Chains A and B, each alone.
Chain A
């Protein structure tokens, strides 16, 4: 994650080499001209991908002005008349506004709160078991669902929870509990969403922590053992501090993604019965924008979402840096 910062000079470079390069590659227009002459084939190579970024990433950003316009198909994006904050006003005063914001927030905070610690627990537990068939089996199996598509995971969830045939209701029936229509009841939606997500991604998320654990100096563990620390104490005082920097970065990114919570899954799990809990900003944008063709309104909602998202990421990053000294752009 911290590769977001790899603009600094690479490790293992001698100062002498660096000064030599600095002299050779003087920054500024002159340096650029010289570099262009020398590496023109490489610059040429970048043209198509850069055009791609311009067209599919930066033009959409500029298209977001649509949020302040009343879109007219014939006049186009730039020809359409300005309406100021009207689209935002409409959204803020829409009775669904608070429901959408609340659903989005609660759903993603719940996801973070559930999957973040569980992935760490899985990694710590796997780390305690020395190499063996058991460890590899657990890792292989828990990692596998990550490769299954969202459509399939949602279908599996629906099948497993189905009131008519699902194995969960079979199990409940065994204990005399009457069948529950999990997907038809809005109260269950959040739990279904979050726990199926945990089921799918925990093994994958644990890999990053396992790598961080492998990077901890074994001497620390040995010293702790000599001092008579039990396994639990070594986890608490050696392993946990060791994976802290990684965990903080993952947490920052997770919180920064709160508003960007997956359209795909919420949309697939949605049905008219659970809509009161399952309608989130992303699904609302899809419905108003593409199904009802209110391009300007949907763009405004989307822009609101993106801005909140970016702001959250920056705020959490600042807090994380203050508190732990770690963050993106360390």
Chain B
């Protein structure tokens, strides 16, 4: 492990921010002030943060409908995200995108994406720009296990290999695509995501997605390969989604106790805290103070979002085009 103290603190802060952001949304959504569908990322924090800790603002990611964690890990403003989820004018997208379409191009966040499998072709395209620019930038497609059955994702992986592009396909296997488990939906069982990617001719490997260090290390290797002209990589990280597909999902497809088990033994934050304190890399008090700072940030984000104005009705046809 080659992470500095500063990196460890940042990684914990980001994972904690994602966790609190999501837990707070879970509490706020039933109050009825958040419009539309919301898909929570809880349980997957180590993947977003472990991947993005290897990236700079000039590197790009594409995301999914479950994109809050990716946005936070890539550096999007948390208050701007919260306001966006509340549909407010002060949101990162002016209230036009909502939970599923948050983007911040200045941070290399090319958008959450409401279409399963929508991101990988976009990331592959961004990597063409990076290859041509020649500055060693990389693009990462963060996609779910559900996307690995989508044709455009296969097309993107093939083209990435064929053109030797600096792109990484990250499959977050969180146990369910909507309600359906990969054990059912992915031919030849859960291990097949990696084998499929290998079938396109790129290195592919798999790690525990609840272990920040495993995600970080595996991604670092892939990012170095991509930056050095070594072409694409696919990674699969296994975890378990703590909430339903969407908020309000009764989750009748899961056995009772599954989430409790995951929260007990597959919690990336608990694992991280145990690991860094036992190895004396950080003190518990360092982490505790981050916890309280994060809680304060989320409190402020919610309060500011609720107090913020909605966009004016006249915005309805604004920004359809740059000019028309």
A binds B: no
- A: residues with CB less than 8 A from B are none
- B: residues with CB less than 8 A from A are none
